[in-house]
Structure 1
Amino acid sequence: MQQRTDTPGADRAMVQAERVTKTFGRGADGVTALDDVSVTIRENEFFTLLGPSGCGKTTLLRLIAGFELPSAGRILLDGAEIGHLPPYRRPVNTVFQNYALFPHMTVAQNIAFGLEMQGKPTAEIGGTVARMLDLVKMERLADRRTDQLSGGQQQRVALARALAPHPKVLLLDEPLSALDLKLRKEMQIELKRLQNETGITFVFVTHDQEEALTMSDRIAVMATGEILQVGTPKDIYNHPARRFVADFIGDINILDVDLDKIDEGRGVVRLPGGATASAALPEAEMRPGAVSVAIRPENVLLTGPEDGARTATGEIERVVYFGSAHNVHIRLDDGPPIVARAPHAPGGAGDRAGVILPDEHLQVLVD
């Protein structure tokens, strides 16, 4: 299979959800799993639906696959509406959490199964199976039964079987959740490699922020049946627009402050201790008043308590060492606790410290 030559994130739409709502049950007993969701997933990109359990991400995946039908709205694939097509007639394949392999079949037979159901010629099946075995690096295990494989090997077989018909879209429903931490990290790299080499659009569902940040071209953060923000991993991490997104993705400090005014597209906020700072504003229109601002621990700078450049001062409550850095927990004077991440701790519990909250890393949030 040839290396793809196009750029991920190209403008051509592969999957589109247009004002999709999905309700289970009726009347007062009805539960809305998706509420007027619209999103476009581009051709040849690794797109992740990220959110906590019950946010609607798996429901959206099942609507694309055809295992569920929308209560309202429509799903398009490569420009064509697919709501009337049963799952087996949609040019998509799904890899489930439990892989759903046939234990009595060999690795090669599992990969060939879908092609045989499509009535492909024997020679074509053999060639495709050989390419898939090479793609997932399972050539030497082609004749082994899948119930004799490790969890990571079984996942590779499931991926090869799903990729063999070369679908337009591959749907992955938390496929790494059953693996141990080390293997999960290895498979994150493998999944991204497979997507790069095949050029197939991957739609990946997970509740694991690290997985999403590691593999994705873009991420849609979901909660309570809605998509709150769509962006690249860097956009989502560095510029969260909503409080939920900021709090859900990585470690972050969230401070309740006053927005005094808007100045040249940025918000002038009053921080604990009385200092003012300039913070980035979300796209939503903002007005002066009580708001929240966010800053990542690695962007909080530590100084001496008498340093004239400090934004605020406080007392170190504890220092947590975790190998590559220290998390320094500081209780600000007349303010909330804040965490700074630094290579070296400036002191220990009970010591005084100053902190600097750089303007370029402060972000006003929408609740």
Structure 2
Amino acid sequence: MEKAGAENRRNVAISARSLVKTFGTGEFAVHALKDVDIDIRENEFFTLLGPSGCGKTTLLRMIAGFELPTSGIIQLDGQDITALPPHKRPVNTVFQSYALFPHMTVAENIGFGLKMLGRSGGDIDKRVKRMLALVQLEAMANRRTDQLSGGQQQRVALARALAPEPKVLLLDEPLAALDLKLRKNMQIELKSLQAETGITFVFVTHDQEEALTMSDRIAVMRAGEILQIGAPTDIYERPTHRFVADFIGDINILEGSVVSSEGRTAQVRLKDGAVIEARVPEGVDGSGDVALAIRPEAARLAGPDETAALSGTLENVVYFGAASYLHLRLGSGEEFVLRHSGALDAYDLSTGSVLGIALQPGRARVLE
């Protein structure tokens, strides 16, 4: 995991240190956050990713000021905001429900926060027009929000939150209520909005694809702790923790033991006797019993004249157009899934046939 102290302090927008949140007391206490350290940089799209109950929304609400930490501090631009109420923080939040005013027009909704801040009428009109253009809703300015589609309502909520030009915009699963196609379109629009405005976005989701699609960096959380922080390619290609590898995308996790190592490379003997070369990430112990992670796309069917790294008994073939996913059972009894994008005509794909598996060099990784 990235060390919080390694960040360039001048570029940090939000910083949290030793953050703890406990609900209840004694045997009924729930530890929502456990000694969390995190730095979120200026002008980045940062995602808190994890399953339900992992603490990601609690952390977001504490940045917003809706929850106070049990202990620890939160800073914005180097200033302690731990005890500041929400309305005194230069932070806005977009909720999953959008929380729009149905009796107001789109323009009135967007300008509402500016009016509460005491901005002049001319300033409000100018800013509302700018926000309408930004979210491409100029033609909808005088419609009531209950006359809009879900995607349009989400854009209004974004425009309203962006209008006061907050230093940080917090987004609590704002795409969850949208259908699949609209959600994918909004993922692209959200990332474009962040890049155009230059505002730091902190996005909460349990959807791995959303996180990989939009984020500059991702923090993967489990049970109140941050397990790994990194760019999407780091989280997907170079996971350091077994939970991270298993939570992000499809993956094969095999049990084995290290028989030799040199630097960050280890030879791992699997349960079926095969020896696989694997990378050992920094901070991971590359000795003794280990778990080995191999993505399905890092494996393919071995050719007839090729030495296979593994072999397995075919149980199922799932066709996805551009590629086929083959489900095999290794000699150890473990399941192995590979993604084969080439022609399959040369292989015996009858159930129960034994097939060789070739691996891309350097793609197998040792996990904590």
Question: TM-score of the superposition, structure 2-length normalised?
Answer: 0.94
How far residue 84 of structure 1 moved from its aligned partner, in angstroms, is: 2.1
- The aligned counterpart of 1:355 is 357
Structure 2 counterpart of 1:350, which letter? G
1:144 correspondence with 2:143? yes
SS at match of 1:175: coil
CA distance in 2, matches of 1:307, 1:328: 20
- The aligned counterpart of 1:167 is 166
CA distance in 2, matches of 1:99, 1:334: 50
SS at match of 1:360: coil
CA offsets 1:60-99 (integer angstroms, 9 cap, x no match): 0000000000001100011111012100010000000000
- The aligned counterpart of 1:290 is 289
1:277 correspondence with 2:276? yes
How far residue 275 of structure 1 moved from its aligned partner, in angstroms, is: 3.0
How far residue 28 of structure 1 moved from its aligned partner, in angstroms, is: 1.8
- The aligned counterpart of 1:299 is 298
SS at match of 1:97: coil
Given candidates 305, 314, 326, the residue that maps to 1:328 is 326
SS at match of 1:292: strand
Question: TM-score of the superposition, structure 1-length normalised?
Answer: 0.94
- The aligned counterpart of 1:319 is 317
Structure 1 counterpart of 2:319, which letter? Y
Given candidates 296, 299, 307, the residue that maps to 1:309 is 307
- The aligned counterpart of 1:5 is none
SS at match of 1:256: strand
- The aligned counterpart of 2:4 is none
Task: Decide which moves more: 342-351 or 237-246.
Answer: 342-351
How far residue 265 of structure 1 moved from its aligned partner, in angstroms, is: 2.2
CA offsets 1:203-250 (integer angstroms, 9 cap, x no match): 000000000000000000000000000000000000111000000000
- The aligned counterpart of 1:76 is 75
Structure 1 counterpart of 2:56, which letter? K
CA distance in 2, matches of 1:91, 1:109: 21
How far residue 10 of structure 1 moved from its aligned partner, in angstroms, is: 9.9
Q: 1:10 to 1:233 in 2, by over 3 A?
A: farther
How far residue 271 of structure 1 moved from its aligned partner, in angstroms, is: 2.8
CA distance in 1, matches of 2:170, 2:235: 22
Q: 1:324 to 1:287 in 2, by over 3 A?
A: closer
How far residue 335 of structure 1 moved from its aligned partner, in angstroms, is: 4.4
SS at match of 1:114: helix
Task: Decide which moves more: 330-339 or 196-205.
Answer: 330-339
Please say if residues 280 and 286 of structure 2, whose CA atoms lie closer than 8 Å, have aligned partners that are also in contact: no
Please say if residues 307 and 354 of structure 1, whose CA atoms lie closer than 8 Å, have aligned partners that are also in contact: no
**Identity within the alignment, %:** 61
How far residue 287 of structure 1 moved from its aligned partner, in angstroms, is: 5.1
Please say if residues 254 and 291 of structure 2, whose CA atoms lie closer than 8 Å, have aligned partners that are also in contact: yes
- The aligned counterpart of 2:204 is 205
Please say if residues 240 and 284 of structure 2, whose CA atoms lie closer than 8 Å, have aligned partners that are also in contact: no
Please say if residues 48 and 219 of structure 2, whose CA atoms lie closer than 8 Å, have aligned partners that are also in contact: yes
Structure 2 counterpart of 1:38, which letter? D
SS at match of 1:330: strand
1:254 correspondence with 2:253? yes
CA distance in 2, matches of 1:287, 1:206: 32
CA distance in 2, matches of 1:252, 1:244: 11
CA distance in 2, matches of 1:26, 1:35: 15
Please say if residues 171 and 203 of structure 2, whose CA atoms lie closer than 8 Å, have aligned partners that are also in contact: yes
- The aligned counterpart of 2:340 is 342
Please say if residues 56 and 221 of structure 2, whose CA atoms lie closer than 8 Å, have aligned partners that are also in contact: yes
Structure 1: unaligned runs, 5 residues or longer? 1-8
- The aligned counterpart of 2:178 is 179
SS at match of 2:362: helix
Please say if residues 96 and 172 of structure 2, whose CA atoms lie closer than 8 Å, have aligned partners that are also in contact: yes
How far residue 11 of structure 1 moved from its aligned partner, in angstroms, is: 6.2
CA distance in 1, matches of 2:59, 2:37: 10
SS at match of 1:63: helix
CA offsets 1:250-290 (integer angstroms, 9 cap, x no match): 00000001112321222221134433222111322515321
Q: In the comparison of the two structures, how many residue pairs are matched?
A: 357
CA offsets 1:135-177 (integer angstroms, 9 cap, x no match): 0000000000001111000000000000000000000000000
- The aligned counterpart of 1:6 is none
Please say if residues 286 and 366 of structure 2, whose CA atoms lie closer than 8 Å, have aligned partners that are also in contact: no
Structure 2: unaligned runs, 5 residues or longer? 1-7
CA distance in 2, matches of 1:283, 1:11: 26
CA distance in 2, matches of 1:301, 1:330: 12
CA distance in 1, matches of 2:263, 2:52: 40
How far residue 186 of structure 1 moved from its aligned partner, in angstroms, is: 0.5
Please say if residues 136 and 156 of structure 1, whose CA atoms lie closer than 8 Å, have aligned partners that are also in contact: yes
CA distance in 2, matches of 1:114, 1:137: 20
Q: 1:286 to 1:224 in 2, by over 3 A?
A: same
CA distance in 1, matches of 2:196, 2:143: 25
CA distance in 2, matches of 1:285, 1:221: 17
CA offsets 1:27-67 (integer angstroms, 9 cap, x no match): 22111100000010000000000000000000000000000
- The aligned counterpart of 2:3 is none
How far residue 360 of structure 1 moved from its aligned partner, in angstroms, is: 0.4
CA distance in 2, matches of 1:335, 1:321: 24
